[in-house]
Amino acid sequence: MATVARAQTLEMQRPRLRFRISRVIFLVLALVVTALALTPFILTVSGSFKTKSEILDWPPTIIPRIFEWMNYVEVWTNSHYFPQWIVNSLFLAGFHLLIYLGICSAAGYAFARLRFPGATVLFLAILGSIMVPGQVLWVPKFLIINQLGLVDNLFGIALPDLAEVFGVFFMTQFFKSLPKELEEAASIDGASTFRTFRQIILPNAYPALAALSILRFQGEWNAFQWPLIVVRSPDHLTLPLGLASFQGLFGVNWNWVLAGAMFNAVPIILLVIFFQKYFIRSAASSAVKG
């Protein structure tokens, strides 16, 4: 009997042991991934306080020998256009985001709820455009922007991507997950389609709009290749393009570049902190409904 009881106890403990081992493995993997993700950011923060010579030392150190706080002052004062680059990026990302959210949410609601001829074909055609590499579209985009006279203009950067496939698809799927009873109740009260969308649907879409805002603002704020094609004048550069201009003929002012990179990171960090609860709510809601 004792042998049987011991065997049963071991059999009961095996699942617990496997669970603990798998938990430790996942924890170690999470720590490794977190370390790999944070290392570039930590080195950027550290390098922004180092001298130009110390940045090039090998192996790199996390804590600077001397904290050069003046790097942040110099990157602001030594470049005449640096404040203008920040203003350009804020205007571009903010203007683009507001119109982008309006177009994607309206198109997503139309595909999710409205019935019109060719809706399915049009939606599939929009999704099919994802298979076309973005670089292939740069030439026709530039030709259109040039014909509109928007070369070397911030609106020329923002205009081509005001309606983007992922945003339309994302909002379409979210609106499909909302219960139709919300619209039926509004219809009984005599609300029009536009009023239902504005007063009933959009307030319930805040989590999805917040998640989409973070992703799109980050993409537009850090955009480099398309603005590089469109912009010519130094006072029209965005912040990423401006930081790239710190590379001179005889070297790179890495202390200025890293200090400027921290200025570039601040809006993204603030946006994530501000919309974090909505982003998590959207992810949790999608997981439950999925």
Domain boundaries, the chain: 2-47, 79-289
116 contact partners, CB below 8 Å, separation of at least 6: 110
How confident is residue 287, by pLDDT bands cut at 50, 70 and 90? very low
Q: Identify the pLDDT of residue 17.
A: 63
**How far apart are alpha carbons 286 and 39 in whole angstroms?**
30
pLDDT, average across residues 23-29: 85
pLDDT at residue 288 in the model: 46
1 pLDDT more than 60: no
- In this prediction, residues 260-268 reach a mean pLDDT of 87
pTM (two decimals)? 0.76
With a pLDDT cut of 90, the percent of the chain lying above it is 1
161 DSSP 8-state letter: G
pLDDT at 240 over 80: yes
What is 79-289's CATH superfamily?
MetI-like (1.10.3720.10)
Mean pLDDT of 41-69: 81
How far, in Å, CA of 243 to CA of 257, rounded?
6
State pLDDT tens for residues 180-225.
887 777 777 777 778 888 888 888 888 888 888 888 888 888 888 8
pLDDT at 285: 53
Sequential DSSP letters for the chain: -HHHHHHHHHHHHHHHHHHHHHHHHHHHHHHHHHHHHHHHHHHHHHHTTS-HHHHT-SS--SS-SS--THHHHHHHHSSTTHHHHHHHHHHHHHHHHHHHHHHHHHHHHHHHH---TTHHHHHHHHHHGGGS-GGGGHHHHHHHHHHTT-TTSHHHHHGGGSS-HHHHHHHHHHHHHS-THHHHHHHHTT--HHHHIIIIIHHHTHHHHHHHHHHHHHHHHT--HHHHHH--SGGG--HHHHHHTTEETTEE-HHHHHHHHHHHHHHHHHHHHHHHHHHHHHHHHHHHH-
More confident site: 19 or 155: 155
pLDDT tier at 290 (50, 70, 90 boundaries)? very low
The model's pLDDT over 105-141, given as tens digits with 9 standing for 90+, comes to: 998 888 888 888 887 888 888 888 788 887 888 888 8
pLDDT computed for residue 182 by the predictor = 78
Stretch 221-231: mean pLDDT, rounded? Answer: 88
The mean pLDDT of 144-159, rounded to a whole number, is: 88
Q: Please tell me the predicted confidence (pLDDT) of residue 19.
A: 64
CA distance 172 to 288: 17
Give the span between the Cα atoms of 62 and 193, in whole angstroms. Answer: 57
Residues whose CB is less than 8 angstroms from the CB of residue 221 and which lie 6 or more positions away in sequence, other chains included: 89, 93, 239, 264, 267, 268
pLDDT of residue 15: 64
Q: Are 52 and 237 in contact (CB under 8 A)?
A: no
pLDDT of residue 6: 54
pLDDT of residue 250: 54
Whether the predicted pLDDT of 79 surpasses 80: no
Does residue 30 register a pLDDT over 80?
yes
Which H/E stretch holds residue 151? none
Summary mean pLDDT of the chain: 81
CA separation for the pair 63, 42 (Å, rounded) = 10
Q: Over 70: is that where the pLDDT of 11 sits? A: no
- The pLDDT, as a whole number, for residue 12 is 55
